[in-house]
C-alpha cells in the first residue's frame, strides 16, 4: 500500500505540484490532429495537466497551444478570430501568433512599446502519429520530440483515438498495467474454459526496470510443454506498449499480430484522456478503417458507444454502464459490454481519486508496485534538479511488445526475438 502522503504526490498534476513538474518534463498528447481539421478554423478548448489552454491551427498549418485567456483583460480567446497566422481577441483586437508574441495591438497607439512587453503564454507543439504533442516544461530542458516506433508507421498502418475517463490518470493507468485482471474482467465467454487468459488465472509476473520505464511479462500455463507469455512495456511517464492481434471479434486469437497500447494523459487531478493506438506489425499488416471500427466497437468506444461530438462514453457510472445482470449470470463475467467500458466501470467506480492507503496488494501487483515506486523516484529526481528517466526519446524509440505461446521455461528475449525487432 501507499501512504496517504505518497498517494497525494502521485495524483496531483497541476502547475507547481511535484508530479505536475515531473510530467511537464515530457512531451504530452494535447489533442488529436483531427480535432483541428482546417487552417484558420475554429479554435479548440484544451485542458491539460490542470491548465486551461486554447489550440488553433494557423494559416500555415502550424498548431498553437496558448493560454485560454487574453493577457490584456483576460477575455476568452475561444471566441477569437483565427486569421492570418494568429489568434485575435475580439474584445480589443490584440493578436498573437503560435509562439505567444503579440503581433498586432490596434486599440493602442501605433508603435507602442507595450506590444513588445505583452506575451501570451504558449507551449511548443509537434504533430506526429495523428496527435498534437505539447511540451509544458522549462524551455531550456525541452527534449527532442517523441519518436515511438508506432509514430513512424504510415497512416495506413496506424490508428489513434481518445476517450474521456472520469477519474485520476493513475488508477486508469494501473488498470492498463494490470495483466491479471484480464482473466476476470474481460472474460466474455464464461463457458469457454480453454481461452488463453482463463485456463490459467494466476499469471506469474516478472518485471525489469529499463531506462524508459520497465518491461514486464505475465506467464500462464498452457499445457505441459508450453506457456502463454505476454510482454508489456511501461513507458514513462504514463504510457503502455503491448502486443495484440487483429480481428478481435473472431476469437481471442487470430493469425495477424499488431502493436497497441494507451497513453493516460491527465486533464486534471480527477479526469483523464486515454489515447488509444494501434499499429501494424509490419508493412504487411495495415490497420484498415474497417478493422479499426470493429476494434473500437469491441472495446466499447465505437461510434455508437460515444456521445456525439464528444469523447465520452454513453455507458457511465450514472447509468451503471448499462450492466445486464442476466448476462453476468450466464454469459460474461461483468455483464457490461466493451473491454474499455468494463475497465471504466471499475476505475471510475473507485471514485475520482482512490485511497491507496487502504489497499492489500498481492504477487500479481508487482508491475503496479514498481510503477508507483518508479514515479515517486522520478518525481524526487526532478525536485533535486536531475533529469527524469525516459525523457530522452531515444530511450523508447524502438520499444516493441508481443504475446503468444512459448516453450515452458523459455525467456521472452529468446522466444520473441524476431517479433520484437523494430519494423518501422
| Whole-number Å distance between alpha carbons of 62 and 84 | 12
Using the predicted structure, report yes or no on whether residue 230 has a pLDDT greater than 50. Answer: yes
Quick check: 164 pLDDT over 80?
yes
Walk me through the domains of the chain, giving residue ranges and CATH numbers.
36-124 (2.102.10.10), 149-415 (3.90.380.10)
Q: Are 135 and 124 in contact (CB under 8 A)?
A: yes
Confidence of residue 248 (pLDDT cuts 50, 70, 90): very low
Q: Is the pLDDT of residue 251 over 90?
A: no
The whole-chain average pLDDT of the chain stands at 95
Cα–Cα distance measured from residue 75 to residue 210, given in angstroms and rounded to the nearest whole number: 46
Percent pLDDT > 90 in the chain is 92
Which single residue is written with the C-alpha cell 460515444? Answer: 306
Tell whether the model's pLDDT for residue 116 goes beyond 90.
yes
Place of cell 509562439: 99
pLDDT of residue 195: 80
CA Rg value for the chain = 23
pLDDT at 247: 44
Give the per-residue pLDDT at 156. 96
Please state, in angstroms and rounded to a whole number, the distance separating the CA atoms of residues 261 and 240: 5
DSSP string, 391-424: -SGGGTTT---EEEEEETT--HHHHTTTTTS---
Give the separation between CA 362 and CA 366, rounded to whole angstroms. 8
Residue tagged 518525481 (cell numbers): 379
Q: Half-sphere exposure of 190 toward its Cβ, with a 13 Å CA cutoff?
A: 10
Q: What share of the chain is helix, strand, coil (3-state, %, to 5)?
A: 30, 25, 45
pLDDT digits (tens, 9 = 90+) for 398-423: 999 998 899 999 999 999 999 999 99
Render pLDDT for 72-102 as a digit per residue (tens, 0 to 9).
999 999 999 999 999 999 999 999 999 999 9
Cα angle 175-178-179, degrees, rounded to a multiple of 5:
130
3-state secondary structure of 223: coil
**Is the pLDDT at 249 greater than 70, yes or no?**
no
What is the mean predicted confidence (pLDDT) over 270-295?
Answer: 94
Is the pLDDT at 253 greater than 70? The verdict is no
| Band of residue 1 on the pLDDT scale cut at 50, 70, 90 | confident
- What is the spatial distance between Cα 292 and Cα 248, in angstroms, rounded to a whole number? 10
pLDDT digits (tens, 9 = 90+) for 333-361: 999 999 999 999 999 999 999 999 999 99
Residues in Cβ contact with 243 at an 8 Å cutoff, skipping those fewer than 6 apart? 230, 231, 257, 258, 259, 260, 401, 402, 403, 404, 419
State the pLDDT at residue 65: 99
Grid coordinates given for 52: 486551461
Instruction: Find cell 527534449 and name the residue.
Output: 143
Cα atoms in the Cβ-side hemisphere of radius 13 Å centred on 387: 12
pLDDT, position 196: 80
CA-angle at 207, arms to 206 and 210, nearest 5°: 150
Pick the closest to residue 124 from 104, 140, 103, 148 (CA basis).
Answer: 140
d(CA 323, CA 320): 6
Rounded to whole angstroms, the Cα distance separating 111 from 94 reads 14
- Per DSSP bridges, beta strands 204-209 and 402-407 are unpaired
DSSP secondary structure letter of residue 204: E
pTM value is: 0.95
Maximal CA-CA distance, the chain: 84
- Transcribe 45-65 into DSSP letters: EEEETTEEEEEEE-TTSPEEE
pLDDT of 257: 77
pLDDT band at 309; cut points 50, 70, 90 = very high
Q: What is the mean pLDDT of residues 277-288?
A: 93
Residues in contact with 253: Cβ distance below 8 Å, sequence separation at least 6, in sequence order = 196, 245
Amino acid at each position: 500500500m501507499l501512504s496517504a502522503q505518497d498517494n497525494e504526490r502521485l495524483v496531483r498534476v497541476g502547475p507547481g505540484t511535484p508530479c505536475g513538474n515531473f510530467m511537464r518534463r515530457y512531451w504530452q498528447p494535447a489533442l488529436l490532429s483531427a480535432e483541428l481539421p482546417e487552417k484558420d478554423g475554429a479554435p479548440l478548448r484544451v485542458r491539460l495537466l490542470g491548465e486551461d489552454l486554447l489550440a488553433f491551427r494557423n494559416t500555415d498549418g502550424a498548431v498553437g497551444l496558448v493560454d485560454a485567456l487574453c493577457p490584456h483583460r483576460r477575455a476568452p480567446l475561444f471566441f477569437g478570430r483565427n486569421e492570418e497566422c494568429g489568434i485575435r481577441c475580439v474584445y480589443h483586437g490584440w493578436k498573437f501568433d503560435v509562439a505567444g508574441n503579440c503581433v498586432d495591438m490596434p486599440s493602442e497607439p501605433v508603435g507602442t512599446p507595450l506590444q513588445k512587453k505583452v506575451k501570451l503564454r504558449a507551449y511548443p507543439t509537434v504533430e506526429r502519429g495523428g496527435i498534437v504533442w505539447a511540451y509544458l516544461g522549462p524551455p531550456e530542458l525541452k527534449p527532442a520530440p517523441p519518436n515511438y516506433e508506432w509514430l513512424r508507421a504510415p497512416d495506413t498502418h496506424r490508428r489513434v483515438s481518445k476517450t474521456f475517463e472520469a477519474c485520476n490518470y493513475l488508477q486508469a493507468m494501473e488498470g492498463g498495467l494490470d495483466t491479471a485482471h484480464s482473466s476476470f474482467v474481460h472474460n466474455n465467454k464464461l463457458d469457454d474454459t480453454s481461452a488463453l487468459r482463463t485456463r490459467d488465472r494466476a499469471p506469474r509476473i516478472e518485471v525489469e526496470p529499463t531506462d524508459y520505464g520497465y518491461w514486464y511479462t505475465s506467464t500462464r500455463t498452457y499445457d505441459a510443454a508450453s506457456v502463454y507469455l505476454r510482454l508489456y512495456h511501461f513507458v514513462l511517464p504514463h504510457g503502455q506498449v503491448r502486443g495484440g492481434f487483429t480481428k478481435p471479434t473472431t476469437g481471442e486469437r487470430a493469425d495477424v499480430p499488431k502493436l497497441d497500447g494507451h497513453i493516460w494523459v491527465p486533464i486534471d487531478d480527477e479526469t483523464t484522456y486515454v489515447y488509444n493506438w494501434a499499429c501494424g506489425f509490419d508493412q504487411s499488416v495495415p490497420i484498415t478503417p474497417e478493422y479499426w471500427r470493429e476494434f473500437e466497437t469491441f472495446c466499447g468506444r465505437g461510434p455508437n458507444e460515444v456521445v456525439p461530438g464528444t469523447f465520452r462514453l454513453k455507458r457511465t457510472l450514472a447509468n451503471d454502464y448499462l450492466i445486464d445482470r442476466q448476462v453476468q449470470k450466464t454469459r460474461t463475467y461483468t455483464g457490461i459490454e466493451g473491454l474499455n467500458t468494463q475497465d471504466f466501470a471499475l476505475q471510475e467506480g473507485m471514485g475520482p481519486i482512490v485511497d491507496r492507503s487502504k489497499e492489500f496488494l498481492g504477487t500479481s501487483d508487482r508491475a503496479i508496485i514498481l510503477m508507483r515506486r518508479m514515479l515517486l523516484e522520478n518525481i524526487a529526481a526532478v525536485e533535486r534538479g536531475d533529469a527524469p528517466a525516459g525523457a530522452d526519446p531515444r530511450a523508447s524509440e524502438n520499444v516493441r511488445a508481443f504475446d503468444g505461446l512459448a516453450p515452458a521455461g523459455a525467456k521472452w528475449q529468446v522466444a520473441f526475438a524476431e517479433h520484437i525487432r523494430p519494423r518501422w
